[in-house]
Structures are given as structure tokens and as C-alpha cells.
Amino acid sequence: MVETQVWRVDPDAPDLEHAPQIIAAAEKLAQGEIVAFPTETVYGLGGNAKLQDSVRKIYEAKGRPSDNPLIVHVATLEQVRDICTEIHPIAQKLIDTFWPGPLTLVLPSRGEVSNAVTAGLSTVAVRMPSHPVARALILASNLPIAAPSANRSGRPSPTRADHVFHDLDGSIAGILDGGETGVGVESTVVDCTTTPITILRPGGISKEQLIEAVGAVAEDPGLTRSDQAPKAPGMKYKHYAPEATMYLVPAGKDRISELIAFEKNNDRRIGVLTTEENRDSYPEADVVLVCGRRSEPETVAHNLFDVLRHFDQKKVDAIYSETFSEDGIGKAIMNRLSKAAGGRVIE
């Protein structure tokens, strides 16, 4: 057990790179410790990407399988060139269009980062976050920061500092509390070593946006298969799961109501994940939680992980979830819901 410090920092404060909280967290990183920090997607659990012992601590704190690679967070293109052998023109176009922001690029590795970061692959996943606290921490530490989401492996990703504290208190050196995150689902991961480029994980940048920027875009079979080594986070293992068994119900409201009635006959406490438009459609349910507005899917993405964690507080036995269109960010929403449900779908 270690004492987990919490440094509260205003993301809108001037000269964040020199704020005492940022300096304190950067010093921990320089000492090989690991700290959590906010990005525009979710909170990350960061360590020095070049230091094997630091990266090992990330895996241990999360309980994360060692064949699941990590994303390296940078603040400058110089840092990218330091750890990658090349940035070909399509990758550069993606950088020019979407960085800083919720897009991770898989590029050829120069071998500068720990092989624990790459899980032994010849590529490395890199992104430049737009959150001011994340950028200030990277600049203050002058390190490429390896950072998966700051939660216990398999749990819903953290969008607030208290989520991190709940999962990792006593296991990490500190948490930079910069308030609630924005996008709510993790970055899109794109393999730039293939032709065309390949989406390895849907996220904050949609396939449609990528196509508009660079043309042809493929999707990796690993998005739906689990029998191959993962090339990026979130491809192989069960993720984002609440404590209760969760089911996706594409048929919608009437089918969910039938399922609730059946469950109530068995004296089980039932939760429903729904949207603002349908919040009053399930009076029989014990717990009804709204994750956003169906008409504005970005609100669903923003609230999804917080709602999944809230179900744990409500102590339900099962959760039935509505499903969503896979247009735009809906692809990322359904990817996370499918993993949270362990692939369980009730037609």
C-alpha cells in the first residue's frame, strides 16, 4: 500500500505547466511512480513510457494483462519522432486534422519505449491529448507518458477523480483532479502501418470523420474477434463491466418491459439503462438510469461510464440496456456497451 495523494487543479488556470500540483505530479513520474490525470476522454494512469519499472507498476495497479499494449501520451511532435521511426503522409494528415484530440495513431516504434508498453510489438500507439492538465503534465515532466484508463482492469473507465480514487486508492502515488472529463469514451485507435489505415478501436473520432479527412478506412477483425494478440487497448478483453450482469436489448422498450416482468417474478432487483426520451417507460424497474439524450449521442458517450458505475451503487442483480445507432460516435458507444455486457444480447 502507498499513500495516494490528490492534487486538485483548475484546468483553466494560467501557466498550468508551472502550477505546484502539476510539478508535484511530474516529480512523482520522474521518480518512476505512477499518477492519474484527466484527459479529454477519460482519466489516464500515467508512468514514464521509457522506464520498465514504471510501466510494470501500471499493469500491477490495474491488474491488466501484460499482452494488452498501452498508449503513449505526448505533447509535441518532437516526442513522437523520438519514439517512432516515421510519420508517413496519411498519419501526418491525421495529426494535422485531429491533434491534439481523442485520436491514437499506431506507428512504427523506434524501440525507445519499454517493451512492456508495446506488448512486444514493433509498433507503438501514440496520442496527443487536448486536455490542458494532461498537456501541462507531459510538458512539466518532459516525458512520454504511457497511460491506459485509470481504473481496475475490466471496470468502467473513470470520468471523474473520485472514480479513480475508488478503484486505485493505495495503489498509485497520486491523482491530479481536474474535474469531469469531456468526451467520456476513450480515443479512437487507428493503425497507420496498414493500407488503408485501420480502426482498431472506435472512440471520440468517428469513422465518418476519418474518411472525410483521408479517404479509405478499414476496420480490424479484432473488433469482433478475441482469438488474436491485441494491437491496441480494448480489443481483446472484457472491459467496462458493472458488477451486475448486463444485457443489451436491441428490440427496445416493450421487450425490456417483458424481461423486467419475468425477473420480478424471480424476486430480482432490476436496472435499466435508458435515455432521456424513454426515462418514464419502465415503471416496473427498480432502478432506471439515464445516460443522455438519444437525439444527441455525444451526451450518451459523455455519461456512459458514470452511469455504469452508478448501477454498482444501486446494487441491482441485472441490467437491461437499450441500444443505439452505430452512426458517428454511436459506434464507440455500442462497442463499450457490448464489452460491458460481455457480448450478451437478448433479441
**pLDDT tens track for 333-343:** 999 999 999 99
Residue 4 counted as an annotated binding residue: no
Closest CA to 338 of 303, 295, 308, 313: 308
Reply yes or no on whether the pLDDT at 23 is more than 80.
Answer: yes
Are β-strands 145-146 and 71-73 bridged in parallel, bridged antiparallel, or unpaired? antiparallel
Domain region containing 334: 245-340
Query: Which CATH number do you get for residue 331?
Result: 3.40.50.11030
- Whether residue 159 sits in one domain with residue 46: yes
**Separation CA 170–CA 172 (nearest Å):** 6
Does 149 show up as a binding residue in the annotation?
yes
The annotation status of 153 as a binding-site residue, yes or no, is no
For the chain, the C-alpha Rg in angstroms (whole number) is 20
Structural domain contains residue 347:
no
Q: Could you tell me which of 246, 257, 192 has the C-alpha nearest to residue 220?
A: 192
Q: Report the CATH number at residue 157.
A: 3.90.870.10
Q: At a CB cut-off of 8 Å and minimum separation 6, what does 241 contact?
A: 154, 155, 156, 308, 339, 340, 341, 342
146 plus 274 within the same structural domain? no
Residue 274 has pLDDT above 90, yes or no: yes
Query: 188 and 106: one domain?
Result: yes
Q: In terms of domains, do 106 and 254 share one?
A: no
Q: Give the pLDDT band (50/70/90) at residue 228.
A: low
pLDDT at 265: 86
275: annotated binding-site residue? no
147 is in an annotated binding site: yes
User: Residue 225 pLDDT more than 60?
Assistant: no
Using 50, 70 and 90 to split pLDDT, how confident is the model at 67? Answer: confident
The total number of structural domains that make up the chain: 2
Q: Is 123 annotated as a binding residue?
A: yes
pLDDT, tens digit, 9 for 90 and up, residues 160-192 = 999 999 999 999 999 999 999 999 999 999 999
Confidence class for position 95, pLDDT limits 50, 70, 90: very high
**Is 279 annotated to bind ligand?**
no
Q: Which of 162, 193, 223 is the last residue of a domain?
A: 223
Specify whether the CB–CB gap between 34 and 141 falls below 8 A. Answer: no
> Is residue 136 scored above 80 in pLDDT?
yes
In a domain, 212, yes or no: yes
Which residues share a beta bridge with 36?
A: 45, 175
| Rounded CA separation 218/200 (Å) | 9
Quick one: pLDDT at residue 231?
A: 58
Indicate if the pLDDT at residue 303 is higher than 80.
yes
The predicted pLDDT at position 347 comes to: 87
User: Residue 194, annotated ligand binder?
Assistant: no
122 among annotated binding-site residues: no
Nearest to 193 by CA among 106, 110, 125: 106
